[in-house]
Amino acid sequence: MRGTTMSALVGVIMGSKSDWSTLSHTADMLEKLGIPFEVKVVSAHRTPDLLFQYADEAEGRGIEVIIAGAGGAAHLPGMCAAKTHLPVLGVPVQSSMLSGVDSLLSIVQMPAGIPVATLAIGKAGA
């Protein structure tokens, strides 16, 4: 995983290292556009305190938007949006069981007041 050395404007987060095969396409596009970004693995289920800390501190570090990729239950984008006022874009990572439809539905069905812009499944959304 990589990020840029300049002060990041975009936070790219994912629920596990295995999600990098999808989110690496996000990093590629941000590099092509010359947008500085950071990359971090934070799990809504395995490391919720780390996720909350990341979301709480992102704006103070100069992050302007968070792109959160997750598969399966895919709670990462919604939990992140619950802890920050920054825009959160959710990337549903393709799963083996339901081809990412489970991830898509989990991200797109947020309760009122917890907005997540939901992108396409997998590489197309990254």
* Residues in binding site for substrate: 16, 19, 46
Report the C-alpha gap between 60 and 102 in whole angstroms: 33
Q: Report the distance separating Cα 3 and Cα 85, nearest Å.
A: 23
* Strand-pair partners of 12: 39, 67
Extract the annotated binding site.
16, 19, 46
Using an 8 Å Cβ cutoff, are 50 and 42 in contact? yes
Q: Yes or no: say if 13 and 22 are a contact pair by the CB < 8 Å rule.
A: no
Do 76 and 70 meet the contact criterion of CB atoms below 8 Å apart?
yes
Beta strand 88-92 with 10-14: parallel, antiparallel or unpaired?
A: unpaired
